[in-house]
Chain A
Amino acid sequence: MEKEGPGDSPDKGKRDFCRMILVGVASLSVPGALVAATERKSLSDWYGIKYKPAEHLYAMGIKVDRCIGCGRCVDACKKENNVPDYPFYFRTWVERYIETEDGQTTVDSPNGGKDGFRAPVSDKRIFKTFFVPKICNQCEKPPCVQVCPVGATYRTEDGVVLVDSKWCIGCRYCIQACPYGMRYIHPTRRVADKCTFCYHRVVKGLLPACVEVCPTQARVFGDLKSKASPIIQFMRFNKTFVLKPGLNTEPKVYYADIDLEVR
């Protein structure tokens, strides 16, 4: 920056200053411009054309009385969706509830139930015990979408809550906002991650991986907008419950035969 001399016009300092500001701000935009520039110009030749999301509304039913706690769902989900195999990151998991005759309830989920469960070790007599699979509830009023500051998580027209891993900044507000503990930060991609109902399978007419491998059909998946779908039968013949209804998140995962101890 040249020093002001007595012969310079009074506006020279101002011009230099303005130039400095412009160059500084412009250079900040380089990384962002790269992202925007690599965006595809045309969206898709099949999504929205051959597959119309507005014609579908996906939901899952879980029959607690059928779950045997084998953990195949947890295993398949991790394989299908590249979730790292540490006991800290789960898109779905299985909990075991043990209610003993003294009125105490113990809950556990070793490694999310992925390797099954070991026999309970306790002197107390068991009153009631069962397994409960848990999964992202794909809420109709998702608090995670509400709090995301940049719109990196959103609900599609067919009712699935997804994450934009190229836009997520990793502020973790969504993880705090989810009442069900369904979200986590992916350790290598360093963005928020969650169950997507295997969206990439579902739009092709396949089942989510967890539903696919469940040996006892404890997980039922389908399209609420369809006239004939397993989920419609499930809703018709079961008295269903959702988790934390008081929070008004309107989950799309319905539980049948659930117990009052389940949170």
Chain B
Amino acid sequence: MWKRTPEQIRHLIVPVVVLIVLYFGVRHLLIPSTYGLWGHYRANSVIENAEIPVKYAGSEACADCHSEISATKKEGFHRGLACETCHGAAYIHTQDQEKQKPQIPRTRANCLLCHEYQPSRPTGFPQVVSESHNPLKLCTACHQPHDPKPPHPPKGCEACHATIQRTISISRHGSLACTTCHEVPVNHKLSPRANMAKKPQTRDACGKCHAQDSTAGKEIPRVDMATHGGKYLCWECHYPHMPGAR
């Protein structure tokens, strides 16, 4: 039968078969042995990725030797802040103290990375405008980094609610104290989340000044509290910190 196939086919098949056999032979040589064990990839690569050396030790590692500082930090406002965020990667230091000494940041710039005022930062986060907040002093002069209580609680609310303060200060409510509408517990400035300030709950809160029969100043606009705004509460339409805006 072989002799009966056309000569062209016979002469073509030989190199084709040789190439195919070579291909499968070479595959065996060139494909790494762990390829395909766990999926369509080289299984050894998972191990290689898993055994990359670690650079950050993790916040739990520091407490082993620096127990006092850890204990202090656990009680203060920086309890959620990892040691290595300010002191840099320290894994080598945990293995061999002398080989790597973590840095101690001593400039204002380090603290300002988080605490410089930015309107995009969420309300309630303590922020300062560095140009006006003791510009010639180091932060550490007044704030102990491991227990950063301010030397005295902030006088106003703007230390943590700066954007709101900026918004309200150019509005018609600018002269109002925050406590006019917000009931602020005594310890709110010491431990904010445990002692949250309250927001008004009823229309009467605004009605104190804006109802027809209110005894507040003549320049304050009055509305008929019974009919104005239907079923809505006042702040569902009017933004109290910028009441002129819709």
Contact = CB atoms under 8 A, between A and B. Distances in A.
Contact of B122 (A53, A65, A116): A65
A126 B45 contact: no
Contacts of B84: 76, 212-213
Contacts of B191: none
Contacts, number: 164
Q: Give 5 closest A-B pairs by Cβ, nearest first.
A: A164-B45, A32-B30, A154-B41, A200-B52, A213-B85
A199 B49 contact: yes
Contacts of A155: 39
B56 A209 contact: yes
Interface in A1-55: 18, 21-22, 25-26, 29, 32-33, 35-36, 39-41, 43-44, 47, 53
A85 interface: no
B81 A215 contact: yes
Contact of B56 (A21, A36, A76): A76
Given A35-B32, A36-B31, A68 B22 contact: no
A201 interface: yes
13 contacts: A18-B15, A22-B22, A26-B26, A39-B44, A43-B44, A47-B47, A68-B121, A76-B85, A154-B39, A166-B45, A199-B50, A200-B50, A212-B56
B26 A25 contact: yes
Interface of B: 15, 18-19, 22, 26, 29-35, 37-56, 58-59, 80-82, 84-85, 88-89, 113-114, 116-122, 125, 245
Given A41-B33, A68-B121, A200-B52, A116 B113 contact: yes
B119 A43 contact: no
A15 to B, nearest CB: 11
Contact of B80 (A129, A201, A217): A217
Given A79-B89, A151-B40, A213-B84, A196 B49 contact: yes
A71 B110 CA distance: 12
B199 to A, nearest CB: 17
Nearest to B55: A80
A215 B33 contact: no
Contacts of B125: 68, 216
A134 to B, nearest CB: 15
Contact of B113 (A71, A152, A206): A71
User: Which among B47, B49, B113, B120 has the highest number of chain A CB atoms within 10 Å?
Assistant: B120
Contacts of A43: 34, 37, 43-44, 47
Given A35-B32, A43-B34, A166-B45, A68 B122 contact: yes
A227 interface: no
B34 A117 contact: no
Contacts of B121: 68-69, 131
Interface string A124-158: 00100111000000000000000000011111110
A203 B50 contact: yes
A72 interface: yes
A119 interface: yes
Contact of B54 (A26, A32, A96, A200): A200
A204 interface: yes
Contacts of B48: 164, 166
A213 B82 contact: yes
A165 to B, nearest CB: 8
Contact of B41 (A53, A81, A164): A164
A215 B80 contact: yes
